[in-house]
């Protein structure tokens, strides 16, 4: 115990946003030290054993481009752990990287996880961090971290609402008085937008494109609202019937049509959450509006779309891709002050 405490003195405590698309690590007093895709590349040996080849950016570039003996995996999908062993390796690798390979450090680690994780999945995350050297692991749920990271007054006797649209999930939360009053998590996020875009292009242009191209299209010309002048983009893929390489021009209207359904699901869920809270809290939110966080908040026009649908002010948090990490970091810097908020579940 004493030894643990002594080692703790030399360790940088860490805050980790364990996202399905990106993992961000913050060191106490230092800010963001790692921000990389949540992807692991494994080498499969002839005897079937697997070893970690790369983690993060390097591994993401391998997605869809691997020879038979290499596998690039995203261990978290739709807000749940899709592959336990690989998730464990990834968490371990990021913590080791945060400590520059120093083996003797024993940090305290706060990890922000998707709201919907089961007890077994939460335990996997805890065990991975512990096996990577953490002396204490505290898990917090994403809507809470997002609310703090978006700068919402979570301690005030006033309702604030956040919608975090990540890669795997959208998490909606209403906070007040140091607690999460209402929340909802749906398996809709950037990944689903991409799937719909890929499917739409296959149907409309008979062209097969990969997940990575789907993301590029979404980021470059994706939009939630109709544009005065639609944007266009040339894309390459494989012709569905001939199998040959082919190019096509797609427009932002194609993308808007493709993602209309998942957007509708997000708006409906937010509407339901609003209908379930007390009139007092609803009144607060009519006044203060809804904060959008997560990479999905960067989708063109999403704020305008949701504002119109919900008849409420909607604003994008500063650096939405970092809101959850910043919120988790704030909890790490001030564990005592956020004690109640972290553990109200
Ligand atoms: N400019 C952009 N326009 C639209 N989507 C974007 C943009 N930039 C990033 N994204 C998307 O944001 C998603 C990643 O967001 P984020 O890092 O918040 O997710 P995450 O925290 O890893 O996932 P989750 O919270 O679901 O576990 C990806 O799907 C990515 O394609
Ligand atoms: Mg997230």
Structural contact between residues 155 and 339, judged by C-beta atoms closer than 8 angstroms: no
136-172 burial code (b ≥16 CB/10 A, e <16): ebbbbbbbbbbbbbbebebbeebbbbbbbbbbbbbbb
Ligand 1 atom closest to residue 294's alpha carbon, by position in its atom list: 18
Which residues sit with their C-beta closer than 6 Å to ligand 1? Answer: 19-22, 79, 114, 142, 166-169, 189-191, 215, 218-219, 222, 294-296, 298-299, 321
What pLDDT is attached to residue 342? 85
pLDDT attached to residue 5: 57
Q: What is the pLDDT of residues 147-199, one digit of tens each?
A: 999 999 999 999 999 999 999 999 999 999 999 999 999 999 999 999 999 99
- Tokens representing residue 91 in the block: 């968490």
Give residue limits of the domains in the chain: 2-38+75-142+325-342, 39-73, 152-316
Give the pLDDT score at 3: 56
Q: Name the residue with tokens 């996997």.
A: 124
Average pLDDT for residues 206-229, to the nearest whole number? 96
Query: Whose C-alpha lies nearest to ligand 1, atom 15?
Result: 295
| 167, 185, 219: residue to mutate for ligand 1 pocket, most atoms within 8 A of CB | 167
Using the structure block, give the residue that is written with the tokens 């997000």: 266
Tell me the pairing of strands 70-73 and 40-44.
antiparallel
336 Cβ contact list (under 8 Å, min separation 6): none
Query: What is the total residue count of the chain?
Result: 345
Average pLDDT over residues 237-263: 97
Q: Helices 211-221 and 190-205 meet at what angle, rounded to 10?
A: 100
- 2 falls in which pLDDT band (50, 70, 90)? low
As a 3-state breakdown, the chain gives helix, strand, coil percent values, each rounded to 5, of 40, 30, 30
**pLDDT, position 116:** 77
pTM above the 0.85 mark? yes
Atom of ligand 1 nearest to the CA of 142: 25
37 φ, ψ (degrees, to nearest 5): -60, 145
Query: At residue 67, does pLDDT exceed 70?
Result: yes
* Tens digits of residue pLDDT in 266-280: 999 999 999 999 999
Closest listed ligand to the CA of 299: 1
Q: In the predicted model, what is the mean pLDDT of residues 215-233?
A: 97
152-316 belongs to CATH 3.40.50.300: no
Integer Cα distance of 44 and 35 in angstroms? 26
Cα separations (Å) of 294 from 158, 193, 265?
23, 14, 17
Q: Which atom of ligand 1 is nearest to the CA of 169?
A: 26
Q: Which of 64-73, 212-221, 283-292 is least confident? A: 64-73
Could you identify the residue written with the tokens 């893929």?
A: 237
Find the mean pLDDT for residues 57-63: 92
pLDDT of residue 299 exceeding 60: yes
Whose alpha carbon is nearest atom 19 of ligand 1? 166
Judge contact between 174 and 159, C-beta under 8 A: yes
10 confidence band (pLDDT: 50, 70, 90): low
Q: What is the Cα–Cα distance from 47 to 25, expressed in whole angstroms? A: 35
Q: Give the number of C-alpha atoms closer than 13 A to the C-alpha of residue 308, restricted to the C-beta side.
A: 10
Radius of gyration of the chain measured on its C-alpha atoms: 21
Per-residue confidence (pLDDT) for residue 128, from 0 to 100 = 87
Taking the CA of 294 as reference, the closest ligand is 1
Mean pLDDT of 58-66: 89
Q: Which residues contact 131 (CB under 8 A, 6 or more apart)?
A: 88, 92
Ligand nearest to the CA of 293: 1
Instruction: Read off the pLDDT of each residue in 226-245 and give the average, rounded to a whole number.
Output: 96
**pLDDT by residue (tens digit) across 208-218?**
999 899 999 99
Q: What tens digit of pLDDT does each residue of 94-130 get? A: 998 998 866 667 889 999 998 878 899 899 899 989 9
Beta bridge partners, 300, equal 223
CATH class belonging to 2-38+75-142+325-342: alpha beta
* Arithmetic mean of pLDDT over the chain: 93
pLDDT higher than threshold 70 for residue 345: no
Span 314-342, pLDDT tens digits: 999 999 999 999 999 999 999 999 988 88
pLDDT for the residue numbered 344: 62
Q: Report the percent of the chain where pLDDT is more than 90.
A: 79
Name, in order, each residue with C-beta under 8 angstroms of 312's C-beta and a sequence gap of 6 or more.
274, 285, 286, 289, 290
Alpha helices in 38-189 (DSSP H): 57-62, 84-98, 119-131, 142-149
């Amino acid at each position: 115990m004493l030894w643990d405490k002594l080692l703790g003195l030399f360790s940088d405590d860490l805050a980790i946003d364990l996202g399905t698309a990106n993992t961000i690590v913050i060191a106490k007093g230092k800010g963001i030290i790692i921000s990389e895709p949540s992807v692991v590349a494994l080498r499969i040996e002839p005897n079937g054993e697997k070893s970690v080849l790369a983690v993060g950016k390097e591994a993401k570039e391998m997605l869809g481009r691997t020879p038979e003996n290499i596998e690039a995996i995203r261990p978290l999908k739709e807000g749940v752990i899709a592959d336990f062993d690989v998730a464990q390796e990834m968490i371990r690798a990021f913590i080791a990287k945060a400590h520059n390979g120093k083996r003797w450090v024993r940090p305290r680690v706060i990890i922000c996880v998707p709201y919907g994780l089961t007890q077994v999945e939460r335990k996997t995350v805890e065990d991975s961090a512990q096996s990577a050297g953490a002396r204490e692991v505290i898990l917090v749920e994403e809507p809470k971290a997002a609310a703090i990271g978006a700068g919402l007054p979570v301690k005030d006797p006033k309702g604030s609402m956040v919608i975090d649209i990540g890669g795997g999930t959208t998490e909606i939360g209403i906070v007040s008085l140091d607690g999460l009053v209402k929340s909802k998590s749906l398996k809709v996020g950037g990944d689903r937008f991409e799937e719909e875009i890929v499917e739409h292009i296959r149907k409309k242009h008979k062209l097969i494109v990969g997940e990575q191209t789907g993301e590029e299209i979404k980021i470059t010309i994706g939009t939630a609202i109709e544009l005065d002048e639609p944007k266009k983009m040339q894309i390459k893929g494989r012709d569905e019937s001939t199998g040959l390489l082919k190019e096509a021009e797609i427009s932002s209207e194609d993308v808007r049509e493709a993602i209309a359904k998942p957007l509708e699901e997000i708006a409906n869920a937010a509407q339901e959450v609003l209908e379930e809270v007390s009139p007092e809290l609803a009144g607060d939110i009519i006044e203060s509006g809804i904060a959008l966080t997560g990479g999905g908040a960067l989708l063109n026009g999403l704020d305008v779309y949701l504002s119109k649908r919900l008849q409420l002010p909607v604003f994008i948090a500063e650096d939405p891709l970092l809101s959850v990490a910043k919120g988790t970091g704030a909890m790490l810097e001030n564990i005592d002050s956020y004690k109640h908020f972290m553990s109200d579940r």
